[in-house]
Amino acid sequence: MAEMGLTDKQVAELDSLTNRFNGIGKPLTSLQNEKRIELFEKSKNKELPDGAETYCKKWLKEYLYGRREELKAKQVRKGNDTEEDGFTLMATELKLGMVYKNKERKSNEWMEGECDLSLPNNVYDNKSSFSLSTFPMFENDFDKRYWWQLQVYGCLWDAVNLNLCYTLNNDTDIEVEKACRYIEDHNERYKIAERMIFTSAHFEHCKMAIFPEATLTSFIEIPKYDRIRHFKFQRDDNAIEKIKDRVLLCRDYIKQLLTK
């Protein structure tokens, strides 16, 4: 979610500069006072970012006329197809025990959502990576949109511990067959399957069914522990309040659109 007003770091900086302006600590230099004024003015900014306005317009059109575009991206398709495999990987590698997908969608006055897994004081969201190249095996950071998404889940499920899991799962036999459909050379089919399958047992199964005449032997299995990336953080009540502020601004903007 794009920032409105100040970031937490800027708030702390403004507090420090304001204290010095009021005689607490070293006097401000002229440049520091200009910075104080700049941050103070920015702190009053309560305008929706352009991206949020665009989203409101899109949402309103869909709501008014009952038409919503269906997401058909290949990444979404794989996420849906391999969801259960992701949960199994999470359960075994994170030692969660027997888990079942959450099927409850919760909402309050400000937000709604449906987490993937709900355990005592914990919520989990699984992102099934499309390929090895998009899987964050060694990264120490992640898409901040997912941080905000889990803050919503933490609020709705009253959970303190928030868990984002990226999993790398085998694609389905059907998709492997589709990808190889017009390829006659079995070694080329082998190379295609290498990019879609990550476990030896599944690869051998597909080899026998789809490219039995392949002579290549380059396949390397990726172990379970390298097919899951777990990011842990906690619910941030200040972030929840920012979400509420954003919702109010969106509602006001939608009212403006309706009166035009």
The residues pairing with 232 across neighbouring beta strands, listed in sequence order, are 163
pLDDT computed for residue 153 by the predictor: 98
Split at pLDDT 50, 70, 90, the class of 19 is confident
| Distances in whole angstroms, Cα of residue 197 to Cα of each of 13, 94, 203, 208, 225 | 49, 22, 6, 14, 16
Query: Tell me: the pLDDT tens digits for 228-247?
Result: 999 999 999 989 998 998 89
List CB contacts of 231: < 8 A, sequence separation 6 or more. 142, 163, 164, 165
pLDDT computed for residue 39 by the predictor: 79
1 pLDDT more than 70? no
Query: Tell me: the pLDDT tens digits for 44-53?
Result: 666 677 788 8
2 pLDDT more than 80? no
Fold of the domain built from segment(s) 52-58+65-168+226-259: Lambda Exonuclease; Chain A (3.90.320)
Query: Tell me: the pLDDT tens digits for 208-225?
Result: 999 999 999 999 999 999
- The tally of CA atoms less than 13 A away on the side-chain side of residue 260 is 7
Domain chopping of the chain, boundaries: 1-45, 52-58+65-168+226-259, 173-221
90 pLDDT more than 90? yes
Q: State the average pLDDT over residues 249-259.
A: 90
pLDDT computed for residue 38 by the predictor: 82
